[in-house]
Amino acid sequence: MKLVKNAAGRFVPTSVNGEKQIPYKGMNKYRPTGNKANPKISTCIDFPSDGNKVVINLREALKKAGLKDGMTISTHHHLRNGDVVTNMMFDTIKKMKVKNIRWFPSASFPCHSHLIKYLEDGTIHHIEGSMNGPLGKFTTEGKMSGTGVLRSHGGRYQAIQDGEVKVDIAVIVAPTADPFGNATGDRGPSACGLLGFALADSQYADKVIIVTDNLVPFPCIPWQIQGNNVDYVVKVPTLGDPKKIVSGTTEVTKSPDRLLIAEYVAQFLEDAGIMKDGFSFQAGAGGTNLAFALFLKEKMKAKNIKARFIRGGSTKYLVEMLEEGLTDYILDGQTFDLEGVRSMRENANHVNTSPFTSYNFHGKGNFASMLDAVVLGATEVDLNFNANVVSHSDGYLLHGIGGWQNCLFSKCTILAIPSFRDRIPVIVDDVTTLVGPGNLIDVIVTERGIAINPKRKDLLKAVKNSNLPIRTIKEIYNEVNELCGGKPNKPKVNKKEVVAVIKWVDGTLLDSVYKVLK
């Protein structure tokens, strides 16, 4: 495997899984020159005129779809850790004796550790998609036949759209669908909210299979996935465990340190003048983020301020803000709890979005760069504000990128992070894996103070008279290193053996993940 140094100073392979790669060229330096992927033209002659595309089971659908060795099969992760269909699908593929599948999920979860045996026996060749938990560990230990490819949600749309990844068969689980293949995630016993992560797959895959446990007469309204892109529909008894698909409730952090971070973030938005009528923000579903939303809500109410839109992952806290009139819209990418699902079903102003609308960097603009502020997490950040969100300081790849890279394009990107975890400092000399270039990261908020990227002179000026603990990142770094007894140990890895690569939003290679030596 030949490695070259990219514009971020990171070493990346020139070729991955036999395909030539473009190293990261620097911010906004790489310009695509080609044309979008162009699937074969279909004809109604080949589809039932009564619109009934139901076939008896998934095996039959895969057979009709022409499944064979070496194909790329995509799935989406809206069922999160409650998904049983993907495991069942690979059990079926194993029984069909098909080998060397490239599995292209929008993310994988601990429930998919079931698939390790198929990675071992050659049913699955490799995974391109976030590898959370057990599959990430398996990959980092060098056990996967191919090289993992991690993309952001937007990068996944871009890769499909641009024809970098040709999906042979997309298997789309749908909590409600009709026999024509129109499908929605916002209702049914396995309701998950929306299906936006499967949009690109439905548009560009050669064959599209809908799997549902709630088949309704045509038309399934709303149709988040359009039946006109669907080849086959399969009814199964259940898509998974609803409790693991969406939690009934989402938990605000109880940690005093994290509550303090959340409060600092909210106050920062207020003091910096970002929180004003018509503003917009995005925050995820982690405990700190939820607490931030609650603090911000109180501040908005106190000052009688209304947001124009909030970007989800939605939770009951965001839904309350919508229903109490504190925002005109929720533009939602995924629903994290049952209230999010209900609201998406009931509120016309709780809007279904997709990586196409929100994140695709190879579109005519996207929503991410319009956000006034976004609050994200990170596993590590360095003194130049470069950040990592996929691996830990021990070298293990344990998290996906999600929409994280895409969100960095907001007008004010804030990483809300504890200054150390398990006595390991989070601010480091050099991130284990570079996932976000520092020139896109504006503010680091820790329980020990807030560091503003020096290039953001406007923000430094805006909070000059604030009582917030504004410090340099070096000050926080020094204090935490002292407290933890020194810098983290360097991970023990083989720098010659790349087990996975990190794509930037434009499809270029930003960094490599190396095999961990035990």
Rounded CA-CA distance 449/459 in Å is 15
Rounded CA-CA distance 270/174 in Å is 40
Angle at 292 between CA 465 and CA 154, to 5 degrees: 105
**What is the secondary structure of 45-84 as a DSSP string?**
GGS-TT---EES-HHHHHHHTT--TT-EEEE--TTGGGB-
Nearer to a second copy, 411 or 487 (CB): 411
Rounded CA-CA distance 59/390 in Å is 34
SS3 116: helix
Dihedrals φ, ψ of 73, to 5°?
Answer: -115, 130
Structure tokens at 370: 């319009």
Rounded CA-CA distance 185/177 in Å is 9
Amino acid at 97: K
Q: How far is the CB of 391 from a second copy (least distance, A)?
A: 27
Q: How far is the CB of 227 from a second copy (least distance, A)?
A: 7
* Phi-psi region at 449: left, alpha or beta (left = phi > 0; alpha = psi -120 to 50): left
Q: How far is the CB of 337 from a second copy (least distance, A)?
A: 23
* Site of interaction with a second copy (CB under 8 A): 28, 31-45, 47-51, 53, 161-162, 180-181, 208, 217-219, 221-222, 226-231, 278, 308-309, 329, 331, 348-349, 351, 356-357, 360-367, 369-370, 409, 411, 506
Nearer to a second copy, 181 or 312 (CB): 181
Q: How far is the CB of 42 from a second copy (least distance, A)?
A: 5
Dihedrals φ, ψ of 447, to 5°?
Answer: -70, -15
Q: How far is the CB of 221 from a second copy (least distance, A)?
A: 6
Q: How far is the CB of 280 from a second copy (least distance, A)?
A: 9
Nearer to a second copy, 221 or 517 (CB): 221
Q: How far is the CB of 507 from a second copy (least distance, A)?
A: 10
Nearer to a second copy, 308 or 456 (CB): 308
Rounded CA-CA distance 137/496 in Å is 18
Nearer to a second copy, 446 or 508 (CB): 508
CA–centroid distance for 197 within its chain: 9
Strand spans (E) along 312-458:
327-332, 350-352, 373-376, 380-382, 387-388, 413-416, 420-421, 424-425, 427-428, 443-446, 449-452
Nearer to a second copy, 33 or 465 (CB): 33
Q: How far is the CB of 158 from a second copy (least distance, A)?
A: 9
Nearer to a second copy, 401 or 428 (CB): 401
Nearer to a second copy, 149 or 310 (CB): 310
